[in-house]
Amino acid sequence: MKTRITLIIAALFMAANFGFAQQDEECMLNLSMMNDYVKSKKFDEAYEPWMKVRNKCPKFNAAIYQYGEKILVHKIKKSSGAEKVAFIEDYMILLEKGREHYESRYSLGEVLEKQGIMMYDNKKELGKSDMDLYNIFDRGYKEDLENFKSTKGLYVYFTKTVDIFKAGNFELQKVFDKYDDVNEQLENLNGKYAKSLNELIKKEEGGVILAKKQARYKKYYQDKLVANEKIAGSLDTYIGDLANCENLIPLFKKDFPTYNNDATWLKRAVSRMYNKECTDDPLYIELVKAYDKTAPSADTKYFVSTILRKQGKNKEADGYIKQSYELQTNPFKKARLAKKIANDFKKRGSYGSARTYYREALKLNPSDGTPHLQIAAMYAKSANNCGNSNFNKRAVFWYAAQEALKAGKVDPNLKGAANQAANSYRANAPSKAEIFTEGNGGTTITIGCWIGGSVKVPSL
C-alpha cells in the first residue's frame, strides 16, 4: 500500500511539478484516495479524503486546490439553499488559500475572475448586486490585467458597467471607457493566441505531426479566438443604442477641449465615431486631425485616409493607407489592419486591391480563414464580367468554391461556412449536362479580368 501511495504522489509530482512541505503518511493516503476518486469523477466520494488532507496538510500538494475546485463545483451544482451557499463560500476561500500557498499557480487575476464568475452564476443565492460583481472584476482588471483572461469574465465586467449606468450610478463616458478597455484586452489576448496558433500551424505545414499536448493547445487557441470574437460582437449588441451618433457627438464635443492632446482619448473617440459611421459630422475631422498631430501612427494615417476618401481625394487617401500599413509593426494588428483596408477597397468595388490586402492578412495571420471567404465572394460577384462566353463566365464559380474551401482548411471553425459558400457557388457553375454539351470536361479554362488564374472543368 505504501509503495502504491508513494508511486501516485511521485506521478503527481512528475506530471505537474507539485511540491511537498511535509511528508505525512495520513496525508499521502488521503491525497491518494482523493486522486483516485476525482480521476473517476466520483466527486462525492472524494470530498471526505480531500477535506482531511486539506485541513491537516494545507501545503502538502497543489492538487489539494486544483482538484478541490472540481469537487466543490460538483457540490455546488448538486446542492441548494443554505448548503449551496456554504459550498460557494468555501470555494471562494479555497481559491484564496490556493493563492496563499501556491501563488505561482493562482495569480490574482485568475482568482478574482473565478470568484467573480461564481458570484455572477449564483447572484440570487448570494444576494450580490451589480456593483458587487463590477467591483470584483474591476479589481482583477486594475490589479492583474495580464492574468484577466476569462472570456465570460470580461463580458460580465462590461455588461455590469452598462447595467449600473442604466440604474443611474455611472456616467455614460464610463460605459464607453469600459467598452474600449474590454475590447483592447480581447484584442491583446487574441494577438497572443493567434501567434501561438500560427506557430503550431507552421509546424504542421512543415510536415511535423503535433504531439498530443500541442494538439490540445492548438484546439484551445482556436476555441479561445472564436469565443473572444463572439463576445466582442455581444458587447456591441449589449451597448446597443447607447453608442449611437446622437449620444457620441455631443459627448465628444463636450470633452474635446479637455482631451485634445490626449492620444488615448482621441484614439477611442475617433475609433468609436468611425465604427458607428458618424464620420459625416465635422467633429470627426477635428478629432482625426488632433489625433494625427498628437500621436502619428498607423491608426492615425488610416483615419486620415477615411477623411480624404470622403472628400473624393482617392489618390491621396491611398497614399495614407500605404503609410498606415507600413507603420504597423505588430503582426496580429497588421493583419487586422490589412483586413480593414481590404474591406474598404471591397466596398468601393476595387477588388484587385482588396485581394492584395486580404492576401497580406493571410500571410500575417494564416490561422484566420475569413479573407478566403471574402476573396471567394468577390470572385463570385465578378463572374459575369470575367469570361468570353456564358460557360466560361459561370466557370468562375468553381474557382470561387475552391477559394472558399480554403477557409475551412486553415480554420476548422469556419468549415461549415466554407462548405456552405462552396456549395452555393457550385450551384451557379455549369451543370453536367452543359459540360457534356460543351464537350470540354477535364480541360482547363483561363480566367481573365482582375481574377487571373485558371480552373479545371470537372470530368464527366
End-to-end CA, the chain = 70
φ, ψ for residue 24, nearest 5 deg: -125, 120
Domain boundary among 290, 311, 327: 327
- What gap in Å lies between CA 174 and CA 270, rounded to an integer? 17
257, 311: one domain:
yes
136, 231: one domain:
yes
Quote the pLDDT of residue 4.
52
Flag whether 315 is in a domain.
yes
Q: How far is CA 127 from each of CA 131, 132, 140, 425, rounded to the nearest angstrom?
A: 12, 10, 21, 54
Domain that holds residue 416: 351-460
DSSP letter at 41?
T
Cell numbers found for residue 81: 439553499
137, 237: one domain:
yes
Closest C-alpha among 62, 59, 60, 55 to residue 25:
60
249, 235: one domain:
no
231, 270: one domain:
no
Q: What is the pLDDT along the chain (460 residues), one digit of tens a residue?
A: 445 544 555 555 444 444 444 457 889 999 999 999 999 999 999 999 999 999 999 999 999 999 999 999 999 999 999 999 999 999 999 999 999 999 999 999 999 999 999 999 999 999 999 999 999 999 999 999 999 999 999 999 999 999 999 999 999 999 999 999 999 999 999 999 999 999 999 999 889 999 999 999 999 999 999 999 999 999 999 998 899 999 999 999 999 999 999 999 999 999 999 999 999 999 999 999 999 999 999 999 999 999 999 899 999 999 999 999 999 999 999 999 999 999 999 999 999 999 999 999 999 999 999 999 999 999 999 999 998 899 999 999 999 999 999 999 999 889 999 999 999 999 999 999 999 988 888 999 999 899 998 999 998 7
The number of beta carbons lying within 10 Å of the beta carbon of residue 420 is: 12
Quote the pLDDT of residue 399.
96
Q: Give 450's contacts (C-beta < 8 A, 6+ positions apart).
A: 351, 352, 355, 382, 386
Whether residue 304 contacts residue 287, with contact meaning beta carbons closer than 8 Å, is answered with no
The number of beta carbons lying within 10 Å of the beta carbon of residue 219 is: 12
Quote the pLDDT of residue 14.
41
Quote the pLDDT of residue 17.
40
Q: How far is CA 180 from each of CA 68, 173, 183, 187, rounded to the nearest angstrom?
A: 36, 11, 5, 10
Closest C-alpha among 341, 337, 317 to residue 328:
337
Q: What is the count of structural domains for the chain?
A: 4
